[in-house]
Structures are given as structure tokens and as C-alpha cells.
Structure 1
Amino acid sequence: MSSESNVKLTIALSNPDLDADEQERETRNLLREIKDLDVESAELVAVTETPLGSKAFGAFLLGVLQAEVSVANCKKLLGFLGDRLGSKAIELEVEANGKKLKVKASSREELTAALEAAQKFVAVG
């Protein structure tokens, strides 16, 4: 399968109530759960260039992970994120067919709308 037919997702978790260790633990738990799904790859995002306002933990961006998934399995991963993250604040960047969509959500309703927008974005590609 060529990587052009895959969808890349960058997921940034944001929970101001957690300290850096707790945030890292939550991110690693989510990463482990995503790896159990049918994804091409999933990993923490290495610090190469720290965006303004982000925090680095070790050699990785705190609370940020990436996954690459086939178009066929993208809906399943987005559904999992909706179930797993519920009302947590997240930023989701979806890259498919050379185009990017970036959405933010801080409630269950916003997350549902963001995931629907991401699914439509991938389907149109």
C-alpha cells in the first residue's frame, strides 16, 4: 500500500489539570491503545522544532502523537478517538491527498463535530 493512500493524523492532547508526568502517561496510554488498532504506524512526536506554546518532555512533544492509517481504517480510528477522548480538549490535524485539515475540540459536542469534519475531509480526498 502506498503512503499516498494513507491518512496521517496528529493528535495533541491538552489537559491543564495534569502535570508533565501525568500528561506523558496519558499520551503513552493512548498511543498503546492506538497501536492495538489496525494502523500503519503510531508514535510520539519527536522534538525537532518546538512550536510556540508547546512543551517538550524528554525528546518528545508533550501530549502529541502521530498515527498513519489507511483510508479504509481512518473512520475506525476516528471513532475510537471519539469514544476514548470524550470531552477532553484536543487538536487534531488530518493530512490526506496532500491537503491538511486542523480542528480543535474542548467538549464532546465539539469533538463529535471535529471528527465528522475529519471523516468528510478524508472521504472527499
Structure 2
Amino acid sequence: MSSESNVKLTIALSNPDLDTEEQERETRNFLREIRDLDVESAELVAVTDTPEGAKSVGGFLVGVLRTEVSLANFKKVLESLRDRLGNKPIELEVEANGKKLKVKANSQQELTAVIEQAQKFVAGK
């Protein structure tokens, strides 16, 4: 695998304690942080890609963002995710090497395990 290969991440934040507007604000804040990490691209997911049962606001899915990062920055994005959202329910889809890994975490401990799993997946182990 070349070091130039990018990793695509779809991150779904599902915090039951927040209403739709608060969740949207939290997602946009996290999106801004991710963009500061030198990623290839980062955006909210448009409603055209709506998974079954997802809510949308203003043409975008609530709590869902997608980013594409270089292999070098993949770990930085995951660490930011853990630091910022480690104690909140999260769904992560990692796409690399033509394969997808979809995992969920509901706690800091689970997220740490998920991050290790995602890193091994991307490394092809």
C-alpha cells in the first residue's frame, strides 16, 4: 500500500441527550476541528446519502460527517475523535484499501478499542 493512499472516514455522532439543533452544532464544531488537522476533505453528509432512519436538517444528515485523510494524518483525526468525543456514542466507518470497517463505541474504553481496530484495519493487519 502506498503512503499516498487516503483513508475515508464517516463519523456518526449519536448523542441521545442532545436535541437535533444541539447535535447539529456539536457536529459542525467537530467538523471545524477536523478541518484544522490538515485533512484532504471534510464535510457534512448530504441527505442524498441518507441511511435508513437518519434525521436531516437543512439538507444534511444530523450528526454525520465524512472526511478523507492521508494515512499520515489518520491517527491525528482518530486521536482528536477520542479526545473530543470519547464518552459519547459514536459510529465510525473506515474505508481503506477498497474495504470497509464499520464499528460502534459507547464509551471512552470502547472508542479506544475501536481506534486500535481501525488503525490495524488501515495498516492491513
Q: Give the structure 2 partner of residue 25 of structure 1.
A: 25
| CA root-mean-square deviation | 1.4
Q: Where does the alignment leave 5 or more consecutive residues of structure 2 unmatched?
A: none
Q: Relative to structure 2, which stretch is displaced further, 104-113 or 48-57?
A: 48-57
In 1: Cα distance, 2:69 partner to 2:120 partner = 16
Q: How many residues are treated as equivalent by the alignment?
A: 123
Q: In the alignment, does 2:40 pair up with 1:43?
A: no
Q: Where does the alignment leave 5 or more consecutive residues of structure 1 unmatched?
A: none
In 1: Cα distance, 2:50 partner to 2:10 partner = 15
Q: Give the structure 2 partner of residue 58 of structure 1.
A: 58
TM-score by length of 1: 0.94
Q: Give the structure 2 partner of residue 95 of structure 1.
A: 95
TM-score by length of 2: 0.94
How far did residue 50 of structure 1 move? 2.3
Q: Which amino acid aligns with 1:66?
A: R
Structure 1 stretches (4+) deviating beyond 3 angstroms? none
DSSP-derived class of the 2:48 partner = coil
Q: Structure 1 pair 49/124, CA: closer, same or farther in 2 (3 Å)?
A: closer
